[in-house]
Amino acid sequence: MKLVRYGEFGRERPGLIDDQGVLRDLSAVVPDIAGDTLLPEGLARLRGLDPKTLPAVSGAPRFGACVGGVGKFVCVGLNYTDHAAESGMPIPEEPVLFMKPTNCIVGPYDHVEIPRGSQKTDWEVELGIVIGKAAKYVSKENAYEHVAGYCIVNDVSERAFQLEHGGQWDKGKGCDTFGPVGPWLVTTDEIPDPHVLDMWLEVDGKRYQNGSTRTMIFDVPTIVSYISRFMSLQPGDIISTGTPPGVGLGQKPPVYLKAGQTMHLFIDGLGEQKQTTVPAA
């Protein structure tokens, strides 16, 4: 299934995309694509529906983040061998974790703000994991049981804030609009192997990132199991699993975003995102 949230910011409604690409409203079935809806029994209930019996949504409504009520937005840094190399950092022996605050979450086509004083705003296309069942001290063998599905994440980053202001990556990761998520949550039955997905990112039509989840250092079950050792994961939590090479920081010389540019992202089976950059209000 492809589950979505659509409508104006803060008032999104739940929906799904049927086999013909038609947006169908789920408001009479579930309150949101969040919480209990993402439990295995919640997803089984949605799979049992005939999409043709759901109201079709007319027009072209805004798509919000594909998951609502996100409690935690956990990220894995330097999780691609070639990205670690372009960043000039050693390949980690264990997953590098940091958090993006949930205030950064926006829809896949919403504007991305260039923060005040920013000179080094950067892009990162990433595979997102959406948790479907609470996870605490789970084994790698059982980790997939706790995954509801996958989505695209743009881990927008301000490199000077991240690396040049006294440490702690979170400073450069959590600015408002720095977490476009979606367009849809694709359930695990449609993505049997998340480690063979091609992905790319373009800025103003120029392709900078052109990679694959095949080069991830730590795979999905390892990541879910590892994080669950340090914090419990709840339905709707998002894990962003790292980015392939081609970020602005890694260009020679580095290239960073300016207001008025367009980012275009793609991951096999998960759809596309597109954002225009604007000055922060």
CA–CA separation, 222 and 228 (whole Å): 10
User: What are 210's two structure tokens?
Assistant: 């052109």
pTM for the complete prediction?
0.96
pLDDT at 169: 78
Residues belonging to the chain: 281
Dmax (CA) of the chain: 55
Q: Do you find a cis peptide bond into 253, omega within 30 degrees of 0?
A: yes
Q: Is the peptide bond before 254 cis (omega within 30 degrees of 0)?
A: no
- What's CA 172's distance to the chain center, in Å? 17
CB distance 38 to 132 below 8 Å? yes
Topology at the third CATH level for domain 68-279: Fumarylacetoacetate hydrolase; domain 2 (3.90.850)
User: In angstroms, what is the C-alpha Rg of the chain?
Assistant: 18
Which residue in this structure is represented by tokens 């706790």?
146
Q: The tokens 């590892």 sit on which residue?
A: 226
In tens digits, the chain (281 residues) has pLDDT values of 999 999 999 999 999 999 999 999 999 999 999 999 999 999 999 999 999 999 999 999 999 999 999 999 999 998 998 777 777 778 889 999 999 999 999 999 999 999 999 999 999 999 999 999 999 999 999 999 999 999 999 999 999 998 887 777 788 999 999 999 999 999 999 999 999 999 999 999 999 999 999 999 999 999 999 999 999 999 999 999 999 999 999 999 999 999 999 999 999 999 999 999 999 98
DSSP letter for 102, please: G
What is the domain partition of the chain in residue ranges? Answer: 68-279
Residue 46's nearest CA partner among 169, 184, 166 is 184
Residue-wise pLDDT for 169-206, tens only, equals: 788 999 999 999 999 999 999 999 999 999 999 999 99
